[in-house]
Structure 1
């Protein structure tokens, strides 16, 4: 005989989303956000390689991008970004700073160039990319929420 006890309430989100946002995020949204992060990191590497006119287009982009892709993966796991992947704070800021920090550490350990101008460019570019699409998504969500409420 099935139990007649009501289901337990879901815990409230803490700081990463407004109280009216759903607690759980669809798996599709998390996968989309992870793919967007990876694609934007690859674009960052491709733009940088193109600006410096380096050969080996495909393998070169991956050799430049892998430390940052690893940094993004570490950030996603350490901060459990899949819980609110499109939130600017803490997800967007966390993946941005984690990507740059771990990426630069891995570049240094593997003998790749880590100079202050590159760190600044990486911070600015990846900040624009990784926070930018999350900001656009937030604006679209707000606009759709207002239309639904009207």
Structure 2
């Protein structure tokens, strides 16, 4: 039996897994209309997963994995740019329409989930502050 991962490792690992799952989802959605099977999906997937990992390593995303302004933007840019460059280098097609769709969808995915986490966190902080204020008011009177 292995020991559980410490919290400082779990959160970045969770963020990386969410990013990777969303890159996989992007490819699965795109490949669904082409009916080329598992091999076609893997051929499309690997450049973007490599771009994602490259982005995580280049900016050390584990230091602030939930940040939109730095981590999210940099991971998104690296995933798109490196993914498209690796597609070209491996002889895969890269049409302008594909580049546009890739940039938009991965932007929504990789920035979007971080935005949701940010909003939920802010809502929790506000709710805790309101509850603390209400508790102080009820005990003061």
In 1: Cα distance, 2:83 partner to 2:45 partner: 8
Aligned-residue CA RMSD (Å): 1.2
2:36 aligned partner: 55
- Unpaired runs of at least 5, structure 2: 1-6, 131-141
Q: Note the C-alpha offset of 1:101.
A: 0.1
Alignment match, 1:106: 86
Q: What residue in structure 2 maps to residue 83 of structure 1?
A: 63
Determine the structure 2 residue equivalent to 1:7. none
More helix by share: 2
| CA pair 145-82 structure 1, distance change in 2 beyond 3 A | same
Partner of 2:101 in structure 1? 121
Structure 1 residues 97-128: Cα deviation after superposition (integer angstroms, max 9, x where no partner): 10000000000000001111100000000001
What TM-score does the superposition give when structure 1 sets the normalisation length? Answer: 0.79
> Match for residue 48 of structure 2?
68
TM-score by length of 2: 0.84
Cα distance in 2 for residues equivalent to 1:106 and 1:79 = 19
Larger radius of gyration: 2
- What stretches of structure 1 of length at least 5 have no aligned partner? 1-24
What are the superposed Cα offsets for residues 35-92 of structure 1, whole Å, 9 maximum, x if unpaired? 01110000100110112x2221x33222111100000101000001001101101000
Alignment: residue pair count? 124
- Larger mean CA deviation between 115-124 and 139-148 belongs to 139-148
Secondary structure in 1 matching 2:104 = helix
Aligned partners of 1:147, 1:62: CA distance in 2, in Å?
44
Q: CA–CA distance in 1 between the matches of 2:63 and 2:129? A: 25
